[in-house]
Amino acid sequence: MSHSHNQTICEVNGELVNETSFGGEYLVNEIASYPRIHVTAESLRKSAVTHESAQSAFLEHSETLMQRVQAAWYSHGIIGALTEICDNESNEQVSPYIKHSCHVLLVSLRWLSGMQLTLFPHLKLSNDELIASFSENSNWQESPIRYLCWHSHADKFAIALKDDTIRIHYNDNELVPMLKHKLQRNVTMMSWKPLSASTLAVGTQTAVLVWNIDPTSLSTRPSSGAVQVLSHAGHSPVTSIGWNPRGLDLLFTTSTLSSAIVVWNVSMKQSQVIQHVTACGGISRLLFSPDGNKVITTTPSSSFRVFETATWTNERWSKLAGRVQSSCWNPSGTLLLFALYRDPRIYSLTFSDSSSFDQPVLDGPKHASVILDLTPDDEREHESSNVISPSNIIHSICVDPTGERLAVMFGRDDPRCHLVAVYALASDPVVSVTPSGFIHGPVEAIPTFITFKPNVKKGALLTICYSNGHVGYIPMYFKAANQLNRSKILTPLKSFSMKDIDQNQSMWSKSQNNSLLVS
């Protein structure tokens, strides 16, 4: 892998290193052990041609438009049928008048369906525009790589590509299984099941696909029996998915066009709505804390909620300056960081450590603290009391598994969009951030997606997907101050099942409403 003269290759004790001379053979060998990925437009075209004779479960849509509309009607009702017509890109011509009428009707139904007559701008968007607006990828529609998901304990990851295929890459195996299904359109998110070597959940435009990829198989194309399709009426596109972190067979899903939080018993293919988060326009993301004791639900409106998962009580924060753009937890679940759309600041909320109590606690403060202000220097001179920018500044943030590194990816309209900012993060006794510097990537390539690899032996590993289809790895070498024992974290609170959810249904009404006050 060649590096430009200013391309960042690693971080050492808080300093980013741009010279290839550092680290010697050890650094070169460590980076070389990870899969070399460079997805080009040509390779995507070849993929489409090469596999067009594969078995039917993996074919592109071959049904007529009418057949697809009928299938969408059966699975998702009138909204699904109208969406299929509006998103039609096949060779079958649809009258512009009919297409426009369907779009107007679709917008009207979205406006009326469970949104309590509150108008939200995202309801006017097409499915592609909607997914792109709330994606963790800063250029979801054009990026060759739309999502990357590391396995929690194995050295492998899944990447979702623009051509709707998913490929599994291993550190120690050149075999690359490819997952393709006729319902696997517009992949929004992926998640490996905890404590499982082979189960991958995939959120898509119309459903959730749960793949079982045998890690010992020599086949690059899993059979049609290796995938399970989960579809819930009125719950699409599926914009967020999350497994129960304790390894139970429960999968939680949300949609930006639905107020429902749906939980699936995957083995039984049974779904249940456990809550409606009303008057918010839908649920853009659901994110469990690593310890499994809390979960945040963000919305297209200026509010979000945090639930604790033993009794499912919740607290609500509202009156934000905008919707939550990105959020992340520290490993112990005691610190929640979040950024707002078009706001240059990163906020923090601190919670008590649940493992210190016999009973579950949810004691989020009413005051959010600003821990970082990323207002560009040239704008600080003209800064007024209104810090909201006309364009988005922070697109995504993530914290590494040790809780000691924070990575920030900028919005694609920000002048720093070609960089990734790295900070040393401390949360005890107080939350603080110390700049490490900016990561420079390949020439003329812009970062579109960032994530940390779980289960790194030394320090941390930041993985960056670029606009040119390249995947970069940035090792970070530092001595972690807090080596967390995950087995200790995961055991204090009881696990829950579908039965528990039935019994705790009434507890969803126990909600506190907090305004977001900046201290």
pLDDT digits (tens, 9 = 90+) for 290-301: 988 899 999 999
Question: Residue type for 287, please?
Answer: L
Closest CA to 226 of 202, 262, 195, 246: 202
SS3 249: coil
Around 139, how many Cα atoms within 13 Å sit in the side-chain half-sphere? 20
- Distance, in Å, from the CA atom of 96 to the CA atom of 81, rounded to the nearest integer, reads 17
| Position 476 pLDDT exceeds 80 | yes
Distances (CA, A) of 352 to 56, 148, 335, 360: 52, 31, 9, 10
Place of tokens 């009303």: 278
DSSP 505: G
Q: Judge contact between 332 and 294, C-beta under 8 A.
A: no
Q: What is the mean pLDDT of residues 97-124?
A: 67
Q: Please state the pTM of the whole predicted model.
A: 0.81
The pLDDT confidence band at residue 51, using thresholds 50, 70 and 90, is very low
Q: In what order do the strands lie in the sheet with 178-179?
A: 145-150, 156-161, 166-170, 178-179
SS3 300: coil
- Distance, in Å, from the CA atom of 350 to the CA atom of 362, rounded to the nearest integer, reads 10
DSSP 519: -
Closest CA to 290 of 242, 359, 326: 242
pLDDT given at position 504:
39
Mean per-residue pLDDT of the chain: 81
* 429 preceded by a cis bond (ω within 30 of 0): yes
Question: Residue type for 120, please?
Answer: F
| Position 503 pLDDT exceeds 70 | no
DSSP 267: G
pLDDT given at position 253:
97
Q: Bigger pLDDT: 254 or 355?
A: 254
pLDDT given at position 361:
67
Q: Judge contact between 398 and 425, C-beta under 8 A.
A: no
Q: Centre a 10 Å sphere on the Cβ of residue 493 and count the other Cβ atoms it contains.
A: 21
In angstroms and rounded to an integer, the radius of gyration of the C-alpha atoms of the chain is: 22
Q: Judge contact between 39 and 145, C-beta under 8 A.
A: yes
* Cβ neighbourhood burial of 334 (10 Å; 0-12, 13-18, 19+): buried
198-245, pLDDT tens digit by residue? 999 999 999 999 999 988 877 788 877 899 999 998 888 999 999 999
| Position 354 pLDDT exceeds 90 | no
Tokens of 503: 């019994």
Most confidently modeled range among 75-89, 308-322, 366-380: 308-322
Around 163, how many Cα atoms within 13 Å sit in the side-chain half-sphere? 23
| Position 514 pLDDT exceeds 60 | no
Helices 65-86 and 96-112 pack at an angle, to 10 degrees, of 60
Low-confidence winner among 103-107, 222-226, 259-263, 503-507 (lowest mean pLDDT): 503-507
pLDDT given at position 116:
43
* 442 preceded by a cis bond (ω within 30 of 0): no
Which residues, 6 or more positions from 88, have their beta carbon under 8 angstroms from its beta carbon?
A: 65, 94, 99
- Distance, in Å, from the CA atom of 294 to the CA atom of 287, rounded to the nearest integer, reads 9
Q: What is the mean pLDDT of residues 344-354?
A: 90
pLDDT given at position 102:
79
- Distance, in Å, from the CA atom of 285 to the CA atom of 205, rounded to the nearest integer, reads 15
Distances (CA, A) of 141 to 45, 49, 378, 471: 16, 21, 30, 18
Q: Bigger pLDDT: 22 or 303?
A: 303
13-24, pLDDT tens digit by residue? 888 988 654 555
DSSP 453: P
Low-confidence winner among 282-296, 377-391, 431-445, 471-485 (lowest mean pLDDT): 377-391
- Distance, in Å, from the CA atom of 498 to the CA atom of 47, rounded to the nearest integer, reads 41
pLDDT given at position 489:
37
| Position 518 pLDDT exceeds 50 | no
Tokens of 185: 């359109």
Closest CA to 275 of 16, 504, 26: 504
